[in-house]
Structure 1
Amino acid sequence: MSATKFKTRRVGTTNLEVTELGLGSATLASIFQAVPDDQARATVSAGLDAGINYFDTAPQYGYGRAEHLVGDALRFRPEPKILSTKVGRLLRPVQSEAERDYGHAWVNPFPFEQVYDYTYAGVMKSYEHSLARLGLSKIDILFVHDIGVATHGAEQNAIYWRQLAEGGYRALTELKASGKVSAIGLGVNEWEVLMDAFELGDWDVFLLAGRYTLLEQTSLNPFLSTCLKRNASVVVGGPFNGGALMGTGMWNYAKAPEHVIQRVADLNATCAEFGVPLGAAALQFPLAHKAVCNVLPGPKSPAELDGILNWWNTKIPDGLWDALADRKFVAPGTPLPNGRTA
């Protein structure tokens, strides 16, 4: 796989410069579908070979599997690389699947269960455990993972938010001040909780999955506009909305409802008029916003990464973006890659 000449963007006001395309690892940890470990490692290695320098993982993914695999692939590679992982879940060993009292989507996960903990001690312990699983001495970006009402419900989230406010945030700022990490933020699927996070203090970067895509721009205001004011960057996770914009019929980890299927069909038809694959438009769209520093897909194989790189390198005519704006397929005020605002 030949390297692509990726542009880089700065993460907040830090010294980190990430390639505009990154590589996520939830899929590599066998979410919904088994991915052989060798294939997962090869996918991360192929990302490095292609010129990608930013990789994201988390303790939750396969209950430790993703961190192990990403660490294996990165450990002895000399290329400059930027790595993010997450805090908020500690892993506790189990003897059997029956010991878990909740369902999950991981195929053959490691023998652990997740325990939510956003306290000062929990954040510090999670950071140390992640270093051990990765087999690396440095984590560049540390995200608070999946805090919010959508994940926990209002009552339980209030408890976890208090943990973060009274201790977890201090742990993150101490890790950054000491140079152990270079940037801190949150990694979530709902933008509303990120507005609450601004009330706690300053953040460098947020990983927001699925809420700023070609299919959905609900986070445009007030979230992305606030990021510009607060000098916080955004990594756009889930740029295909869980597969919807790749034509899989899935959306946000479940079967797509009819209105989403219809919108995807309309977007696809518009792209086809200009000879552009829908996946290419979806991948390139988010970077038009100045707050966005990276787009983070999650390929499950080197071949799938190759397809993503083909989309990344697809030349998209300005007329396509004009058509999407004129047909009101994007929200008013959305910046487009051709320099226009919808």
Structure 2
Amino acid sequence: MGSDGLHLRLAGGAILIARRALGDTGLEVSELGLGGAALGNLYAPVEDEDARLTVAAALEGGVNFVDVAPFYGMGLAERRVGDALRMRETVISTKVGRLLDPLSSAPGMVERHGFVTTLPFEPRFDYTREGILRSHEDSLQRLGLGRIDLLLIHDIGSSTQGAEAARRMAELTEGGGLDALAMLKRQGIIAGWGLGVNEIAVCLEILNHARPDAILLAGRYSLLDQEALERLFPAAAARSVPIIVGGPFNSGLLAGTPRFDYAPPPAAIRDKAKRLDAICTHHGVPLPAAALQFILAHPQVATTVPGARSADEVRANIGFLDVAIPSALWHDLADNGLVSADAPLPA
């Protein structure tokens, strides 16, 4: 699955983004996908037309994989992405684990759960069989599509669930949630299922219960954080479970936004980002280009899904794949202890 850092070009100089098999699902995904959180108005509003143009730029640039969730804008991202994808050949993933209950009045221009000007629904956790099946049906309706390729169990770990984590896991494992996902795959309704989380412990826990078709792990394999290398990647490799890397810029810090894991970065992380940027600048390489190419060099990684809120951001991310990065940059990062000695480096 790993990238050799080379990309073919189409007539006119456009990059032809490589595609990789997503485990044994029968799906092939572009090594660069599109994360849909920003299209749900994460932190700031995005106009409907800008959302449409963002998805269109991704598809025109060779991206064939889009990831969304009911939680993103309380259904807004799914509505927008579905409208933009209709009648297009793409691979789409969305999440299960949250149901959306209608509010009695529109929330207005306020931030809720990190999203602004959302649709008038309130999320409610439910990982039971009934909750999973209803979530799937509701997402089909919001997307306006006849099929969802990949269903990902969303935010079931302790960092989101806190004291409720054990109860939510019991809903999934004893309340029929995993059985519902297996049934949907067995019947051919979906191509596969997996996890969409920000933490490693819950991935390892799920691997003890079942074999997911993919794990979307946000923020734990990047130039700033390589925690996944020690335990998760070997465990996933042993079970032939591909990794989808979400949050390749760690919520923006590796792309010039002062945010790490959805919050202001701690001093040590800010310092590491500055050191990474200084070495990239010395070699004439944009830091986001190094961030994306570093991730894609790992053989367990099938694709990465940076978010974008404009067509220009999408085009910039695609262009970062084609930036020539000298081997000296990777050696400098390793020599300065900025990447793990166990991390595969791009050729």
Same-fold status (TM-score > 0.5):
yes
Aligned residue number for residue 345 of structure 2: 336
- Is 2:199 the counterpart of 1:204? no
* Identity fraction in percent: 45
Aligned residue number for residue 277 of structure 1: 286
Secondary structure of 1:250's aligned partner: coil
Secondary structure of 1:254's aligned partner: coil
> For the residues of structure 1 that align with 2:115 and 2:342, how far apart are their CA atoms?
38
1:288 to 289, 297, 303: 297
RMSD: 1.5
Number of positions where the alignment pairs a residue of Structure 1 with one of Structure 2:
333
Are 1:2 and 1:49, in contact at CA under 8 Å, matched by a contact in 2?
Answer: no
Secondary structure of 2:115's aligned partner: coil
Aligned residue number for residue 245 of structure 2: 236
> For the residues of structure 1 that align with 2:321 and 2:247, how far apart are their CA atoms?
15
Runs of 5+ in structure 2 lacking a partner?
A: 1-11
Secondary structure of 2:177's aligned partner: helix
User: Cα gap change, 1:172/1:212 in structure 2, threshold over 3 Å: closer, same or farther?
Assistant: same
Are 2:32 and 2:318, in contact at CA under 8 Å, matched by a contact in 1?
Answer: no
One-letter amino acid matched to 1:35: V
Secondary structure of 2:244's aligned partner: strand
- Is 2:28 the counterpart of 1:17? yes
Please list, as runs of the form range in 1=range in 2, the aligned pairs for 1:82-231 lying within 5 A after superposition: 82-96=91-105, 103-153=112-162, 155-166=163-174, 167-231=176-240
- Given the two structures, how large is their TM-score scaled by the length of structure 2? 0.93
> For the residues of structure 1 that align with 2:13 and 2:181, how far apart are their CA atoms?
38
Are 2:69 and 2:94, in contact at CA under 8 Å, matched by a contact in 1?
Answer: yes
> For the residues of structure 2 that align with 1:47 and 1:34, how far apart are their CA atoms?
19
Residue 97 of structure 1 and its aligned partner are, at CA, apart by: 6.1
Cα deviation, 1:94-150, whole Å, max 9, x if unaligned, reads 02367xxx9521111000000100000100000001001000001001000000100
Aligned residue number for residue 87 of structure 2: 76
Secondary structure of 2:248's aligned partner: coil
Cα deviation, 1:281-337, whole Å, max 9, x if unaligned, reads 001111111110001101100011122122121111111111111111112211111
Are 1:3 and 1:49, in contact at CA under 8 Å, matched by a contact in 2?
Answer: no
Secondary structure of 1:176's aligned partner: helix
Aligned residue number for residue 43 of structure 2: 32
Are 2:252 and 2:260, in contact at CA under 8 Å, matched by a contact in 1?
Answer: yes
Are 1:3 and 1:51, in contact at CA under 8 Å, matched by a contact in 2?
Answer: no
Cα deviation, 1:43-67, whole Å, max 9, x if unaligned, reads 0111111110000000000001000
Moved over 4 A (4+): none
Runs of 5+ in structure 1 lacking a partner?
A: none
One-letter amino acid matched to 1:179: G
- Given the two structures, how large is their TM-score scaled by the length of structure 1? 0.95
Secondary structure of 2:116's aligned partner: coil
- Is 2:16 the counterpart of 1:5? yes
Are 1:246 and 1:278, in contact at CA under 8 Å, matched by a contact in 2?
Answer: yes
1:41 to 48, 52, 57: 52
Secondary structure of 2:16's aligned partner: coil
Aligned residue number for residue 57 of structure 1: 68
